[in-house]
């Protein structure tokens, strides 16, 4: 892979807040950004970039024009269709590649991949019918979590099943004929690790952080996570093993459970910047967004040290209305995403603050 120097154009697939923050980091390093997405130019990312192609993922002519205009491509959304990524890769480097997305887009493939590497997950079964759901519930036991295999995020496309629940109604409620039943994990805490990897295999990982959710959506991330050195090292080892075996170029974020008996189990992974890495904008030597730019352009990776313990809080829905109080707090660093309606469950921004001593 050749170095993509400052002054080049980085293409970003997807136009949400992750693309927005990546574009701002790219601009600071002297790059231009061209975003491709079905969303309009008034999207979170579209507001801050020089070029925006609004077209569907199936539009091969638009994809070809986009590829001709950029020097390298990355993404901010792992559910870009793999056929679109494969098509683009015939014209220009795309990082991460379609082979990474094929695993990350499918929860069964994702957990199977981890298990083949000897990395633990919750017990799971693929579920494609009511009969398979009944069999899986018997084998795994309830309570358990039924999820759509693809696309679900922030608590969408999933529900908890308890003993005695109506499995027929549950399978219908998922809204997909491809699902996964995951055994319930009695965890002590949820953590995540963001790893950056270059094409030559060089890697750097941010320290594990602790995540707490509200209604299935990330609420706060506390940095660093309260872990023993051995568990922290194991979490980083798992993330770096997955990044290596997937041949990721860019970022890989891995969400994990720490069980009460000290095991570290993989929950989900995403080959892109991650909500639990937003703290890096203000309290790390290099932000995850700059790190993504460095990795896909084959530049030296930046330092990942924590500059101060901190907490990141998502502003979800009308939480964003507290912005005047946040701005009045000299310790707070506010990041708003330029979105319009503050709908329930919609991530409107985030705020980071140092942890009190």
Domains in the chain and their CATH numbers? 9-95 (3.40.50.20), 123-183 (3.30.1490.20), 187-354 (3.30.470.20)
Token pair, residue 355, equals: 């942890």
CA atoms of 225 and 312, how far apart (whole Å): 12
Q: Is 275 annotated as a binding residue?
A: no
Q: Is 14 annotated as a binding residue?
A: no
CA neighbor of 18 nearest in space, from 80, 62, 61, 66: 80
Q: Which residue has the tokens 């154009």?
A: 9
Q: Is 128 annotated as a binding residue?
A: no
Write down the pLDDT at residue 90. 97
Q: Is 185 annotated as a binding residue?
A: yes
CA atoms of 27 and 191, how far apart (whole Å): 31
Q: Is 210 annotated as a binding residue?
A: no
Write down the pLDDT at residue 200. 97
Chain Cα centroid distance, residue 314 = 15
Compute CA distances 337 → 165, 276, 348, 349, 352, whole Å.
Answer: 40, 16, 6, 5, 14
Write down the pLDDT at residue 166. 78
Each residue's pLDDT expressed in tens, for the chain with a length of 357 residues: 799 999 999 999 999 999 999 999 999 999 999 999 998 878 999 999 989 999 999 999 999 999 999 999 999 999 999 999 999 999 999 999 999 999 999 999 999 999 999 999 999 999 998 888 889 999 998 899 999 888 665 556 678 888 877 788 787 777 667 899 999 888 999 999 999 999 999 999 999 999 999 988 999 999 999 999 999 999 999 999 999 999 999 999 999 999 999 999 999 999 999 999 999 999 999 999 999 999 999 999 999 999 999 999 999 999 999 999 999 999 999 999 999 899 999 999 999 999 986
Three-class secondary structure of residue 104 per DSSP: helix
What pairs with residue 11 in β-bridges? 34, 73
Q: Is 193 annotated as a binding residue?
A: no
Write down the pLDDT at residue 89. 98
CA atoms of 207 and 212, how far apart (whole Å): 17
Q: Is 33 annotated as a binding residue?
A: no
CA atoms of 147 and 152, how far apart (whole Å): 7
Q: Is 305 annotated as a binding residue?
A: no
Q: Is 111 annotated as a binding residue?
A: no
Q: Is 157 annotated as a binding residue?
A: yes
Q: Is 184 annotated as a binding residue?
A: yes
Global confidence as pTM: 0.95
Q: Is 39 annotated as a binding residue?
A: no
Q: Is 250 annotated as a binding residue?
A: no
Q: Is 267 annotated as a binding residue?
A: yes
CA atoms of 214 and 223, how far apart (whole Å): 18
């Amino acid at each position: 892979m050749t170095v993509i120097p400052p002054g080049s154009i980085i293409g970003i697939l997807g136009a949400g807040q992750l693309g927005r923050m990546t574009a701002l980091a790219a601009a600071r390093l002297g790059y231009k950004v061209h975003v491709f997405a079905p969303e309009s130019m008034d999207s979170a990312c579209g507001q801050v970039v020089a070029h925006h192609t609004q077209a569907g993922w199936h539009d091969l002519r638009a994809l070809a024009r986009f590829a001709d205009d950029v020097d390298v491509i990355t993404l901010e959304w792992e559910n870009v269709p793999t056929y679109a990524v494969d098509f683009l890769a015939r014209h220009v480097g795309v990082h991460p590649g379609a082979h990474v997305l094929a695993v990350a887009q499918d929860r069964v493939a994702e957990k199977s991949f981890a298990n083949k590497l000897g990395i633990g997950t919750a017990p799971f079964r693929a579920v494609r019918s009511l009969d398979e759901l009944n069999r899986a519930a018997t084998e795994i036991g309830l309570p358990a979590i039924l999820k759509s295999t693809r696309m679900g995020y922030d608590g969408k496309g999933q529900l908890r099943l308890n003993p005695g629940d109506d499995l027929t109604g549950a399978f219908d409620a998922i809204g997909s004929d491809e699902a996964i039943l995951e055994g319930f994990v009695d965890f002590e805490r949820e953590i995540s690790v963001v790893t950056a990897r270059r094409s030559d295999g060089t890697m750097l990982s941010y320290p594990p952080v602790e995540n707490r959710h509200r209604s299935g959506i990330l609420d706060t991330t506390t940095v660093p996570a309260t872990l023993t050195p051995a568990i922290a090292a194991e979490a980083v080892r798992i993330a770096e093993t997955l990044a290596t075996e997937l041949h990721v170029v860019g970022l890989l974020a891995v969400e994990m459970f720490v069980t009460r008996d000290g095991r570290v189990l993989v929950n989900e992974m995403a080959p892109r910047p991650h909500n639990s890495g937003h703290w890096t904008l203000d309290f790390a030597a290099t932000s995850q967004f700059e790190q993504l730019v460095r990795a896909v352009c084959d530049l030296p990776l930046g330092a990942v040290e924590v500059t101060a313990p901190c907490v990141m809080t998502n502003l979800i829905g009308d939480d964003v209305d507290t912005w005047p109080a946040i701005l009045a707090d000299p310790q707070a660093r506010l990041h708003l995403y330029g979105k319009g309606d503050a709908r329930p469950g919609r991530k409107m921004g985030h705020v980071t603050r140092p942890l009190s001593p």
